[in-house]
Structure 1
Amino acid sequence: MDRVLDVVQGGTAGPPPYGFEVGYIEPGGPELRRPLADVWAVRFEDSAPVRGFKSYKGQRHLPGLWWSATIGRHIGYESWLERDHVMLLDFDPTVVGVSSQPFWLFWASENGKGVSHAPDYFVRRDDGSAVVIDCRPTDRRKPRDWAKFEATQMACDQAGWGFRLVGAPDPIMVRNVRWLAGYRHPRHRLEPVVLALQDVFAEPCPLVSGARQVGDLVSVLPVLFHLLWLHDLAVNMSVPLHAESLVSPKAAR
């Protein structure tokens, strides 16, 4: 499944910007500002957020922190849309690093006016490639937003990174992953139960009846859900999870 959706398209921005610079915070260090050409190899997945996640009464969006099983620490989000996407990134087995608000991108418009934009996420994949992600509902993408997204796309092209602009993800996938996310912590990996489940599901078997073969559902299901979160066992995530969902051995990538 492609967990970063909606490649940028259909923009309405004016002439392209130029002169990109990047502002970022090294781990435990000061904020730096350098030309884009000098930062392509920076590990932005380890950078601190360049801006905080403010919370105040009556605000439209709900910020918070997502504990990532992938990196073992919290990742900030500014809306439930961002939360859903960072959750899906955490579930993606190809993702090995994520940071939120990873850097400021600075450039000058054609008329010389300074412009800045902080993308929502920087993602590192297990093949070493990187993707910059912006989250924005399709009905809230205004012309000035498109100008920034297109500039970010251009900067990413120059740096050798991918860029994705994502909207609302598939609701069934989100619902399924949100359930499994409740069992993402390593404490749910109980090795004797893990081995028994892998043996039972060596061939496709319904979720609940297979778990019953191992033992009491109260103790077995959390381990099973943890293995599904880890992709150590596989299940069809495009339909709602249920008792008869077929669980299979780990699928090859």
Structure 2
Amino acid sequence: MVRSLEVLPGGSAGPSSSGFEVAYVAPDRTELRRPLVEAWAVPFEHALPVRAFASYRRQRNLPGLWWSATMGRHVGYESWLERDHAMLLDFDPAVVGISSQPFWLFWSAANGRPLSHAPDYFARRDDGTAVVVDCRPAERRGPRDVVKFEATAAACTEVGWEFRLLGAPDAVVVRNARWLAGYRHPRHRVEPTASRLREVFAEPLPLMDGAAEAGEPLAVLPVLFHLLWSHELTVDVSVPLHSGSLVAPGVSR
């Protein structure tokens, strides 16, 4: 769904898992710090952000809050790039949990200098696996950043998490997901219209043809877009969404 995605190998940037520590804030606001090997099973998807999202005049980046349909609450972001990736994680049907700034990772450089990094996101998949995400355009990854990203990748490898270093996502996918995200709230799941739409699109049909068959399009379309967001119906989001886009059955929920 995205381009500029790199799954970095673990390796030379950091020490073994015995040298990594994580600090995080539990849902009850308890602050904890422990060796990474003792925290690999912590449900970081429910952790609170370990640092605040700064906001000030003439700020170059644009922080904010994304209301996550997956979590039923807000997830923070520090730039529009992070916002887009938070949205795409929220849109991913395999993702069941998301948190922003989920933990501090601590380790020591080869010269003994202490280093730390807070990844942008932690996501839990429905099979129990996890992915740690950092968002940074390729042209803005300086040498110090690369050291931290490589160390984070090494730490993730040690505990069996995937690490993704993400640049700009595919523009068409983002536009389509952003449109559908406008209908992500459960209030758009209206019955019996939702059930009728699943019946109509039991076989693939063009979007507007199926909407018209299900009822008055002005009433039906918000429900249809919600079902596309939740993947109960599916459409190819790699090409621009339009009235003739082929809509097909999706995931049964």
Q: Give the corresponding residue for 1:78.
A: 78
Cα offset for 1:3?
8.6
Q: Does the residue aligned with 1:191 lie in a helix, a strand or coil?
A: coil
CA contact 2:66–2:74 (8 Å) conserved in 1: yes
Task: Return the TM-score normalized by structure 1.
Answer: 0.94
Q: Determine if the alignment matches structure 1 residue 16 to structure 2 residue 13.
A: yes
CA contact 2:4–2:168 (8 Å) conserved in 1: no
Question: In structure 2, how many angstroms separate the alpha carbons of the residues matched to 1:84 and 1:196?
Answer: 31
Letter matched to residue 17 of structure 1: G
Distance 1:134 1:231, change over 3 A: same
Cα offset for 1:16?
3.0
CA contact 1:135–1:166 (8 Å) conserved in 2: yes
Task: Return the TM-score normalized by structure 2.
Answer: 0.94
Deviations 1:87-136, CA, capped at 9 Å, x for gaps: 00000010000000000001110111010100000110000001110000
Q: Does the residue aligned with 2:71 lie in a helix, a strand or coil?
A: coil
Identity of aligned residues (%): 65
Q: How does 1:56-71 map to 2 (within 5 A)?
A: 56-71=56-71
Distance 1:4 1:167, change over 3 A: closer
Cα offset for 1:57?
0.6
Q: How does 1:169-248 map to 2 (within 5 A)?
A: 169-248=169-248
Q: How does 1:156-167 map to 2 (within 5 A)?
A: 156-167=156-167
CA contact 1:193–1:223 (8 Å) conserved in 2: yes
Q: Give the corresponding residue for 2:108.
A: 108
Distance 1:4 1:251, change over 3 A: farther
CA contact 2:97–2:123 (8 Å) conserved in 1: yes
Question: In structure 2, how many angstroms separate the alpha carbons of the residues matched to 1:82 and 1:122?
Answer: 12
Q: How does 1:26-37 map to 2 (within 5 A)?
A: 26-37=26-37
CA contact 1:24–1:50 (8 Å) conserved in 2: yes
CA-atom RMSD in angstroms: 1.8
Cα offset for 1:17?
2.6
CA contact 2:3–2:168 (8 Å) conserved in 1: no
Letter matched to residue 55 of structure 2: S
Q: Does the residue aligned with 2:220 lie in a helix, a strand or coil?
A: helix
Gaps of 5+ in 2: none
Q: Does the residue aligned with 1:153 lie in a helix, a strand or coil?
A: helix
